[in-house]
Amino acid sequence: MRLLVAWIAVGVVVALVALLDRAGVLPARYVLAPLLGLLILAIGRASLRSFRSGAAHIPDGPPRPLDLAQERVTYACGGCGAEVLLLVRGTEVGPRHCGERMTERREVPRGSVR
């Protein structure tokens, strides 16, 4: 909702600038230059804000080694077909490859089920 209001406000400002420029009252560059500066400032602040929470995905505790005799966990990329064998689990979230999450596949070795 907030984004919609922002786009409507931008549309109103652009229309107002076009009317003022056509009437010869105020050149468009005097209005558009500060707006462009505000846009660059907003993008810069958003980028710096993302650095603050950038390390939130790092796990707190030590990694847990997996017992491959009991269970084998692999991840497969749907885009290119690459597969990853998980030896140590750091987090419950799977890895990313080709820009998307890899699908988890758990295999139980033949002799481990009783």
| pTM confidence score | 0.42
Residue 60: its pLDDT value, please? 67
pLDDT band at 5, cuts 50/70/90? confident
- For the chain, give the number of residues: 114
Residue 22's pLDDT is 87
Measuring CA to CA, which residue among 61, 102, 63 is closest to residue 84?
Answer: 102
Q: What percent of the chain has pLDDT over 90?
A: 2
Of residues 50 and 20, more confidently modeled? 20
Q: Note the pLDDT of residue 86.
A: 81
For residue 4, with 0-12 CB atoms within 10 Å meaning exposed, 13-18 middle and 19 or more buried, which class applies? exposed
